[in-house]
Amino acid sequence: ATGTWNNPNQPQYPGIEKFQGRQLHSKDYVRMEDFTSQRVAVVGGGISAVQQLAEVSDVAKQTYWYTRSKPFFRASFTAEEGGRQTIDKVTKHTEAGNAPRSIVSYTGLIFNQDAKRAHANGALNRRPIFQGLYENGIIEEDGTKVEVDTIIWAIGFRPSLAHLDPLNLYNEKGGINIEGTKVEGKNNLHLIGYGPSQSTVGANRAGRDAVISIARDLKSGT
């Protein structure tokens, strides 16, 4: 039940080692005041990126928002209907042995208070992902150089499963073959916080399901 939050995605862009400003992953973000009067680039198209963009744009001198694909905002998202549909999609994708995707790739972004705040600050002007970095900032898609003081990498997380590497769980697609929470071919191994159970709510439900499955297996002697 190790989830993902211990294993942030690491940025890999040409020139990243040359950049002389500050770089941090969204997991290390503490407070917006740390970016007062700075030129800040937020990289990522998920919920954390929008939340941090909203806060930082209150105090920063300038913000820049970079994403791989154009963000899709939906007016609302109901946990009852939208949440169920999302879990169904994630489950189908994961149980086909595919590598997990970000939840926002299924749900899109919600035009909530954070998005409205960033929009009011003029910070929701998304730019295409850049070519790379140089000493003082970012080299954009068209070759334009943009000077920034700080880059916040809001680029998500991967399953934190390195401690299970000796079990050779990953398939040729980069995913793990699972049914429910159980790893195929390994009846004594359940993954909670992987795929459909990536979220806090999903992990709670998956924990219950795993206990039921384990109790059933113990009772039957499998």
Query: pLDDT, tens digit, for every residue of 112-168?
Result: 999 999 999 999 999 999 999 999 999 999 999 999 999 999 999 999 999 999 999
Share of the chain above pLDDT 90, in %: 68
Distance in angstroms (rounded) separating the CA atoms of residues 19 and 41:
13
**E strand spans, 55-199:** 62-67, 73-74, 109-110, 126-128, 132-134, 137-139, 145-147, 150-153, 178-179, 182-183, 186-190
Say what the pLDDT of residue 81 is: 57
The per-residue pLDDT for range 32-47, each reduced to its tens digit, is: 999 999 999 999 999 9
Q: What single-letter DSSP state applies at residue 180?
A: T
Q: Of 21-25, 85-89, 201-205, which range is least confident?
A: 201-205
The CATH number, out of the four listed (3.90.1720.10, 3.40.250.10, 3.50.50.60, 3.40.50.720), of the domain defined by the range 1-72+108-158: 3.50.50.60
What integer pLDDT is reported at residue 105 of this predicted model?
Answer: 82
